[in-house]
Every structure is written in C-alpha cells, then in structure tokens.
Amino acid sequence: MKAVIMAGGSGTRLRPLTCSIPKPLAPLCTKPVVEFILDLLNKHKINEGIFTLMYKGSSIEKYFPDYQYKGIDLTFTYEREPLGTAGCVKQAMNNELEDFLVISGDAMCDFDLTSAIEFHKKHNADATIITKKVDDPREYGIINSQNSRVVGFSEKPDFSGCFSDSANTGIYILSPKVLSLIEENKQIDFSNDIFPLMLEKNMKLYAFECEGYWCDIGDFKSYKQCQVDMLEGKVDCEIDGKKFTGSSVIKSHIPSGVTIGKDVYIGTNVKMGENVHVGSNSIIGNNVTIERETKIQGSVILDGVNIADNVTINSAVICANSHLKSGSCVYEDCVVGEDCIIGENVVLNSGVRVWQGKFIPKGTTVMQDVKYGAKGSIRVVENGLYGATNIEITPQISALFGMGAGSLSQTGIAVSCSSDNSSKAMLYSLAGGISATGTRVFNMGQMPLPMLIYGARLAGCDLLIYITGGINSKIHIFSSGGLELTRKQERKLESCILRGEYSKASWLEFGEIKSDYGIADYYTSMLKRQLRKITQYNLIAITQDKKLGMALNTAFSRVSDLSCSDMEIILSDNGTKCTLKHSSVGNVSWEQLVMIALYETFENGHNASVPNYFPTAAEQLAKKFSKKLYRFYVNSTGNEDSIAREMALSQPYLFDGAVLAVCVISYLTKKKISIKDALSLIPEFESAQRFVKINGSSPMILRKLRERSKQYKEGIVIENTQGRVLLKANKLGSGLIMYAEGYAAETAKGLCDDVEKIISELSLDN
C-alpha cells in the first residue's frame, strides 16, 4: 500500500522553531518527527510514500537525498497554491487505482495501522477515518459514529457541541472513489467538504478507533510534552535505533559533579562544566556546550547550542546554534529561535519568543516577543523601564506597567509626562491600566518630575510615575516623596507585570481617574512662601523645562536684588537636583547645597536622613549638633532603613532641585550671610561621581574588590588616607557607579581615576 504524507503546513504556532525548518523536520530527541512517521509506515509494510509539500518543502526533499528511507520509496509533490487537505491528496494521487493511506508528516503516533487497514478492507469501506478518544475534544474535529459507521461531524466545537470524544486524527484510508469527489486545483478539505459530501451520497464512511499514542505537536506545550512522553515510555517508538520503554538516554560523557534528573535525553558530543544541573524531562541535543553552574529544568535544547556559566533555563525551548551568555535567565514557555545571541544577564520573561538571528544586548529584560531588528527588548534601568518608543515601549506595555503599579499601590498613583505627544499617549494607556486594578489615578498631565512629586504628596499618593519620551522612552516609578522603590516593591511589581499577577477590578470598581492641571500654580505658590525677603543676589534659574523655569523665576523675581551680583541656580535634566554658580565661590555642588540644608535642619534641633551614597561629611555635621544622621538605601532590600526613608519624606530638598535652591537662599537671607559664609559652616570635602563600564560579571568584580576593601551596606567601600569611594553595580550589571569623597580639595577625581584603573584591570582578568 502507498501512503500520502501531508507535510505542507507552515507550523505557525511553532514559530520561531519553524521559521528555520518545516514542522516535519522538528526534532524529537534529535530525530525529526517525520522519521518516526516513516518508521511507523515501514513497520506496517507500507513501501511507498508520496510527500505533499509547500512551506519549506525543498528542505524535506533535501533531507532524503536518496529518495528512500529504510526501503520505502519516496516521491515529492509541491503545491503552488494552498489546496487544502483533500486538494493536495488529489494532486498527489490523481490516477491511483488502489486504496491508499493518508497520514500527517508532523504528528507523532504509534497506531496499529495494519489493524486499521484490515478493518477498512473487511468493511469494503470507501473511506476509513482513524479516531482517538481525547479528554478535551474542543481542539479537534469530532466524529460521531454508530457501529463504526460515521453519521456526523463537528469541527472544533465548544462543549455544548461535543457529542462525542472521538477525535479525527487526520489519518485516513481512502479508496480511489474518494478522489473522484475532489475537484482538481481547488482548495478542498476532507473534514469540511469531502466527508460531509460522502454522507450526503450515503457512501461507506467508517471510523476506526485506535488505542495507541497520538500527538499533533501543534504548539510548544505539546512539542515538549511529546518528548517527555517518549522518554517515559508512553510511545511505541525507537530512539537512536533502539526500542525504548522508559528512563534516560545519555550518549555523552557526564563529568562528576553534574546532576541529571529522570527521563532526560542527552545527545552526542555534549560538554558540561562543573555543577551543571539538568533537571527531569529535559532534552539536550547534539554538540551542545553547557558551562559551569548552569541549571536547566524541563527544557528542550536543540543541536549546537552554547550555554555559558550561571545560566538558568526553565521549561523553555532553545533552537539550534543559539548562544546564551553568562548570567542569562530564560523562563517558562520562552522560545529562542535559531542563531540567536542572548547577552550577559539578559532576562527573558515568561512566554517571550525571540525570532531567529536576533541579538539581545547585555542586561536587557525582555517582556514581549522579539521579531524584528536586533533590538525588540526593554531595558530595566534605575527607576523603571527604558526602550525604543513605540517599538519597545508601547501603549500596550504602558498599560501593563500601570496594572502592575496599580496592584502595588494602597492609596493611589500620581502620573505625569514630558511635553511630547508620544509621552502623552503612553500616559493615557498607563492611567487606564492603573484604573483597571481599582486604584485611583491622579493624572497631572504634562509637567516635570519635581511638580509631580509635590502633587503626589498633596494627593496622598504612595506611588508616582513619570514618563519621558523621544526616540527612546522611559517609564520612571517612585514611591512617595520621590524615593526609589524598595527591592520588595520592585519584585512585587515584576511579578505583577511579568507573570500577570495583577489585580483586576470588576467593571463597577475601576479606579477613579482625576485630572488636575493646577499643580504648577500650587507648586509656584509653595516656592514663593519660602522666599519672603529680598536677597543679596540677583537670582537666575537655568533649566531645560519651561514650567520649572517659570515657577522658579516667578519666585525669584519677588526677592531678587537686580543691583547685586548674579547667582545662577542650575537644575539637573529631570529637575530633582541643582547646582549653584556665583563669582565669589565658583560652582557649588549638589552635595554642598544639601549640606547647607542639613546644617539648618540640625540647627533647628531635628535629626536628618540622606542617601546611602552621600558623603560622610554629613556625619561630622550631625555630630557637631549632637544629632543623628540616618541613611536610606537606593534599593532597600529590607526594613532596616525604614526610619531613614520615613524621615527623608520631611526633607523634600533631597528630591527637588528647586526646593533645595529655595531652602539654601532662604537660609542665607534669614541669617544675613553670603554663600561663601554658608560654605564655611560645613566640613570641607570634595565629591565626584562616575560610571565605569565593565567586561564580565559585576558581582565577580565586586567580590574581587571586596578582598581589598570592606562591605558598606549597599555596595563596597575602598578607603585610604585621601578619602573613600563607594561602588555599587547598576541594575543592568553593565557597570559600576562610583561615589568618591575626598577629605581634601581636588582629591575626589584622583580617587575615581585610581579605582577606575583597578576596575579595568579586574575586567580584563574576568
């Protein structure tokens, strides 16, 4: 008997695996599924196979260069246009005079075809459909039969239409009479067209129920499960030419120290480093390299993949010849296409698919599929998400971020954005996502971050989100007062966004969206209230943000003395910090201005709080007044800095450059002293900040640095007689941030230079 092997489908649900290969060549334990089908045909004495091909059909023909497989003669036919399941069979078997078999080339099964053929002949059937009982019939064509005679069909019904649990497997035994019902060169299906027509004509259409294994391999869940079933001995098949009844197949040397779970397949020439763990139900293809400390659980790793050290892969599929660099994490239901490069410390979140040939840069967190270009990813950076506008940061991502933040908030979220249309569009989506969790939203429109911080405080919000746009967009998130989120808050936010663990309000419980665009006036009034007396300077605000500039210059205009020397207040890009410039002292740093504000705080009898990286000169100042100085962490991992964080909320000058400037100027006016006099009140110190890119693992470099330094709460400190440098890794792990403090003038920069040289040497060694 001949068999028509249908192998023309595009395997859409298996992309990106099927972007590179047709579905029949998808490997199961390193062997293409179509070979298992041919093994089945050979077992049941079928000696000729006719392939119907379309999508990447030439790849299948090239796979059988001798046009035979274990004695089965193979021929290949191609569809120029999609002809449907019946149309392609008509093209392949148009002049056939004998009964023949039709079987899928991309579904795994071990049916007793001999018994099915005998049943077909015994009943002198025109067509026999091989069926299989299934638990959930909704994804299949359902066959209704009486005494094996087919009396009805239902194609992928819901439960109300499931009159049977017998699924159509797509395996048929047909007589030439059926071919006469199929029009040539026309798209026609068996289930929808030919079999119903046969019932109308009262032709002999039978169903034969098989008890064996059958898996359509229509998606990655079934693709992985099929291979597990093979390893557990649930499929009557041969793996590597041997009958398999269950356990593991290991064809490579496994070094000591490597742990292997149960029901694992490991192909030839697989190399593993120290302390590698390959968990149960994992498939490792041929010529795979897995370096030390890597953990693989329930995943499929195809041929030629290179996996570096400290990689985590959970329930994922990694396609051929891809490279996963050190520290990368690939989570549940991810698929990495062929020839991809996944950079160091990259995180592929659950369900992400990366199409073939893509490069994901170091430190990237990917939250959505990567199909186009070499980017297609979102970078998690300090205080939020960063990516290309409307490519990586989209309204959809903004809404998702809003739902995550809404699930985190207890009292409401204040939101605003920069002055471009893209940010405004993202803001609307963000607000909708927050509201969908039942959390109230204060939409403050297009205004700068310091005004948002102030407005959030007035509204009693515990979170605030600020969106900046341009070619790239960033979604910034802070807790109340402008503090960065704690690590606990960050992790909860990540769980909400990445795993869909966010709150969902009923339609009656959506959070109220309030729009308040009067915050700029309130903010300006607040600055004015702090400046009541004429100063000894002509105050000039310098900022890129028009609203901030207008608010600050409006406050300054009431107290400036135009006959005096100019004092420039220069705000940072986001307005949260400022520096000062005056002819008597030159440039005054943000740290020095904060020290003046701290001086007033201590002088008034209050304790104070500063960021962990702030110069230790602040402790000297606190000691002078017998007051306590607290420090809060940039990314707090516990509650040990809760007092410091709470206290920081009463010091808005730490998070707002305009407020800091007003505090300092107000103090100068009240005390009738100059800026030079104020600087003489605080300890002398020189500070500098620098970012250093590194090669390799930031934790490893910090560990090596710790050998010559000491742990300091958040980061490490290198200290000598000239001063100290605090080092901490950025969130991407791509570099180290240095906060240097010199005990004498002009030494901070030199300290940075010295430490950067040490880091460069360690990076080369890493």
Please, which residues bridge with residue 143 across strands?
153
Please give the average per-residue pLDDT across 203-208, as a whole number. 91
* Confidence tier at 166 by pLDDT (50, 70, 90): confident
Please give the average per-residue pLDDT across 728-750, as a whole number. 74
User: Does 362 or 431 have the greater pLDDT score?
Assistant: 431
Asked whether residue 150 carries a pLDDT value surpassing 60, the answer given is yes
| Parallel, antiparallel or unpaired: strands 365-366 and 347-348 | parallel
Asked whether residue 685 carries a pLDDT value surpassing 80, the answer given is yes
Burial of 4 (0-12, 13-18, 19+ CB in 10 A): buried
Please give the average per-residue pLDDT across 399-406, as a whole number. 93
Type and span of the H or E element at 610: strand 608-611
Q: Sign of dihedral through CA atoms 689, 691, 692, 697?
A: positive
Distance in Å from the first CA to the final CA of the chain: 64
Name the percent of the chain lying above pLDDT 90: 61
User: Does 665 or 186 have the greater pLDDT score?
Assistant: 665
**Is there a contact between 659 and 653 (Cβ–Cβ < 8 Å)?**
yes
Name the percent of the chain lying above pLDDT 70: 91
Would you state the pLDDT for residue 676?
96
Burial of 486-497, coded b for 16+ CB within 10 Å and e otherwise, reads: beebbebbbebb
Type and span of the H or E element at 479: strand 472-479
* Confidence tier at 372 by pLDDT (50, 70, 90): low
CA–CA gap between residue 69 and residue 92 (Å, rounded): 19
Tens of pLDDT, residues 507-560: 999 999 998 768 999 999 999 999 989 999 999 999 999 999 999 999 999 999
Per the prediction, the chain carries an average pLDDT of 88
**Is there a contact between 168 and 143 (Cβ–Cβ < 8 Å)?**
yes
Would you state the pLDDT for residue 317?
96
Please give the average per-residue pLDDT across 721-744, as a whole number. 76
User: Does 218 or 268 have the greater pLDDT score?
Assistant: 268
Please give the average per-residue pLDDT across 667-684, as a whole number. 95
Asked whether residue 246 carries a pLDDT value surpassing 70, the answer given is no
Nearest to 662 by CA among 722, 717, 600: 600
Tens of pLDDT, residues 43-84: 999 999 999 998 888 999 999 999 999 989 999 999 888 888
Domains, the chain, ranges and CATH? 2-215 (3.90.550.10), 247-377 (2.160.10.10), 381-516 (3.40.120.10), 521-681 (no CATH), 686-765 (3.30.310.50)
Distance set, CA 187 to CA 90, 91, 184, 287, 668 (Å): 10, 11, 9, 42, 86
- DSSP notation for 114-151: HHHHHHHHHTT-SEEEEEEE-S-GGGSEEEEEETTEEE
Structure tokens at 266: 């490991």
Structure tokens at 34: 């179509």
**Is there a contact between 660 and 594 (Cβ–Cβ < 8 Å)?**
yes
CA–CA gap between residue 681 and residue 667 (Å, rounded): 12
Order across the sheet with 365-366: list the strands: 259-260, 277-278, 295-297, 312-314, 329-330, 347-348, 365-366
Per DSSP, 703 falls in state H
Distance set, CA 652 to CA 449, 450, 610, 687 (Å): 13, 10, 11, 22
Q: Sign of dihedral through CA atoms 196, 200, 204, 206?
A: positive
Please give the average per-residue pLDDT across 415-442, as a whole number. 95
Please give the average per-residue pLDDT across 99-111, as a whole number. 92
CA–CA gap between residue 439 and residue 428 (Å, rounded): 15
Please give the average per-residue pLDDT across 86-100, as a whole number. 89
**Is there a contact between 540 and 468 (Cβ–Cβ < 8 Å)?**
no
* Confidence tier at 377 by pLDDT (50, 70, 90): low
Tens of pLDDT, residues 596-608: 999 999 999 999 9
Would you state the pLDDT for residue 708?
61
**Is there a contact between 467 and 423 (Cβ–Cβ < 8 Å)?**
yes
* Confidence tier at 157 by pLDDT (50, 70, 90): very low
Please, which residues bridge with residue 366 across strands?
348
Per DSSP, 80 falls in state S
Nearest to 549 by CA among 529, 586, 575: 575
Structure tokens at 296: 């693989």
CA–CA gap between residue 114 and residue 27 (Å, rounded): 26
Tens of pLDDT, residues 479-513: 989 999 888 888 788 777 766 678 899 999 999 99
Weakest mean pLDDT among 345-354, 370-379, 497-506, 696-705: 370-379
Burial of 528 (0-12, 13-18, 19+ CB in 10 A): middle
**Is there a contact between 288 and 272 (Cβ–Cβ < 8 Å)?**
no
Would you state the pLDDT for residue 379?
59
Angle at 410 between CA 405 and CA 416, to 5 degrees: 50
| Parallel, antiparallel or unpaired: strands 538-542 and 513-515 | unpaired
Q: Sign of dihedral through CA atoms 396, 401, 402, 406?
A: positive
Q: Among the residues of 561-697, which ranges form H helices?
A: 590-603, 617-624, 642-648, 657-671, 675-681
Tens of pLDDT, residues 115-146: 999 999 999 999 999 988 877 655 667 777 77
Cis amide prior to 27 (ω within 30 degrees) = no
Asked whether residue 436 carries a pLDDT value surpassing 60, the answer given is yes
Residue for token digits 């049916």? 111
Asked whether residue 619 carries a pLDDT value surpassing 60, the answer given is yes
Type and span of the H or E element at 60: helix 57-63
Nearest to 652 by CA among 582, 706, 592, 577: 577
CA–CA gap between residue 53 and residue 101 (Å, rounded): 17
Nearest to 343 by CA among 333, 473, 354, 332: 354
CA 611 from centroid of its chain's CA atoms? 30
Would you state the pLDDT for residue 217?
86
CA 669 from centroid of its chain's CA atoms? 52
Asked whether residue 700 carries a pLDDT value surpassing 80, the answer given is no
**Is there a contact between 618 and 598 (Cβ–Cβ < 8 Å)?**
yes
Tens of pLDDT, residues 711-720: 556 677 877 7
Number of residues in the chain? 766
* Confidence tier at 162 by pLDDT (50, 70, 90): very low
Structure tokens at 389: 């506008």
